[in-house]
Amino acid sequence: MEMKTANPPKESAKSKWFRAGNHILATRGPDALTIELLCQHTGLTKGSFYHHFSDRDAYIDALLSAWEEKSTLQIIAWVNESAEPQQKLRMLTRLSLTEVDVALERRIRAWAQLDERVYAYQQRVDGRRQEYLVDIWTEVLGNAARARESARLVYAIFTGGQTMLPAATPEEYLRWFTQLEPASSRIK
């Protein structure tokens, strides 16, 4: 009897729109996020675009919401599965280096300086990420004031490394964050 292999799940049209938008945004910037170029990248029609989004502004809101979900909320949910604070920090570091698209983050951060709507998304993402870091560092250090400082330092390294040219490599981040670990274990 011949065994049938399961086909991988088909990517939804909406997912294709987001994947194409992330690629275009990361490589060409926000001005290139045109419906025509999105259609070219996805192979989908304008009718499909308008089926999912009422206009370009609605698409941009949906794209930024999807970015927030994938690069922040999903990572936090995965890290929360860990029990130990030090393990959470290591897992957060690993996921931040593997699941966050640095080129996309850099473009969104630059775009946020020019567009109030994008600024609101960036501010919310930065706030949520820092808030989560404070929570973990409070568990590690047992001191809320020191936790806030440590969280801000780690986040400044993360965002600063993204904006350097060339951007920091995952290996550099790992070295930097590894250097912080011994200090965090001595500070209680």
Instruction: Specify the CATH number for the domain of residue 38.
Output: 1.10.10
Token digits for 141? 């250090």
In this structure, is residue 94 part of a structural domain? yes
- Residue 183: per-residue pLDDT: 55
What is the tally of helices (H) and strands (E) in the chain? 10, 0
* CA-only gyration radius of the chain, Å: 19
Residues 72, 78, 81, 85, CA torsion sign? negative
In this structure, is residue 1 part of a structural domain? no
Residue with tokens 């966050």: 100
Q: Are residues 140 and 94 in the same domain?
A: yes
Q: Containing domain of residue 34, as a range?
A: 11-53
- Residue 186: per-residue pLDDT: 45
How many structural domains are present in the chain?
2
Burial of 86 (0-12, 13-18, 19+ CB in 10 A): middle
Dist CA 1 CA 123 (whole Å): 58
Which residue ranges in the chain fall short of pLDDT 50?
Answer: 186-188
> Do residues 108 and 66 make contact, with C-beta atoms less than 8 angstroms apart?
no
- Residue 167: per-residue pLDDT: 87
- Residue 10: per-residue pLDDT: 85
Dist CA 19 CA 66 (whole Å): 10
Q: Are residues 181 and 124 in the same domain?
A: yes
- Residue 176: per-residue pLDDT: 86
Q: Are residues 49 and 69 in the same domain?
A: no
Q: Are residues 128 and 48 in the same domain?
A: no
Q: Are residues 118 and 181 in the same domain?
A: yes
> Do residues 121 and 63 make contact, with C-beta atoms less than 8 angstroms apart?
no
In this structure, is residue 3 part of a structural domain? no
Q: Are residues 49 and 79 in the same domain?
A: no
In this structure, is residue 59 part of a structural domain? no
Amino acid, single-letter form, for residue 101: D
Burial of 181 (0-12, 13-18, 19+ CB in 10 A): middle
Q: Are residues 75 and 40 in the same domain?
A: no
- Residue 6: per-residue pLDDT: 61
In this structure, is residue 109 part of a structural domain? yes
Token digits for 51? 């089926």
Q: How far is the CA of 139 from the CAs of 91, 94, 177, in angstroms?
A: 15, 19, 17
pLDDT tens for 137-148 read 999 889 999 999
Dist CA 145 CA 138 (whole Å): 8
- Residue 170: per-residue pLDDT: 87
Q: Are residues 100 and 145 in the same domain?
A: yes
- Residue 188: per-residue pLDDT: 41
